[in-house]
Amino acid sequence: MRPGTVQPLKRRTLLILSAGGLVAALAGCRSTDILPTDDDLAELQTEGALPIVNSLRQKKGLAGLARKPEAEVAALVQAKRMAKAGKMSHLIGFNDSFLERMKETEVPLPAAENIATGQDSVERAVQAWIDSKRHLDNMLGTYQGLGVAVGRHPSSANRPYWAMVLSA
């Protein structure tokens, strides 16, 4: 999806408000159908990242990853959280927990998360992760699923905040 475009909300997407924030639960639909709010622009980027990550994994003799709706939701939630806070961090706010976020979005464990900010495309975000040993190790881990999203907040000049979630 190009920046500034919005896809319609599908009927099978269920949005749940909890004390910890917004959680999207999916029932058989694509996560790309989640509608951004007026306060932020967020979109999934898994399809752009998947061929790059799988090519890298193939060169290392590893099995490819597949789109995982739960990982996409978790990545979207994290990208939106970072954009709203205006900071790149795995943990935002008091009592934040990576494990609890993964459980809330029903991501199969084990799971890992890569984050980045400032890159203007999914290809550049993935390359930044490839160039970082710890992030590269995550992408080459024993995972099966992938979700990638970018969140932007208009009041911070649409600065992109990227999240990648890898899952069992």
pLDDT tens digits, one per residue of 24-40: 332 222 333 333 444 45
Q: Tell me the Ramachandran region of residue 61: left when phi exceeds 0, alpha when psi lies from -120 to 50, beta otherwise.
A: left
CB-CB contact of 138 with 157 (8 Å): no
Q: For the CA atoms of the chain, what is the radius of gyration? A: 15
CA dist., res. 111 & res. 144, Å (int): 10
Residue 158: in which H helix or E strand, if any? none
- Tell me which of 47 and 32 has the higher pLDDT: 47
What is the percentage of the chain residues whose pLDDT exceeds 70?
74
pTM of the predicted protein model: 0.74
pLDDT at 44 over 50: yes
Residue 141 CA: distances (Å) to CA of 3, 83, 158? 31, 27, 32
pLDDT at 3: 39
Can you give the pLDDT at residue 40? 53
Of the candidates 79, 81, 56, 13, the one whose C-alpha atom is nearest the C-alpha of residue 143 is 56
User: In this structure, what are the phi and psi dihedrals at residue 87, rounded to the nearest 5 degrees?
Assistant: -150, 150
Q: Copy the structure tokens of residue 115.
A: 């984050």
pLDDT in tens, 108-150: 999 999 999 999 999 999 999 999 999 999 999 999 999 999 9
Whether 160 shows a pLDDT value over 50: the answer reads yes
Residue 46's nearest CA partner among 6, 79, 89 is 79
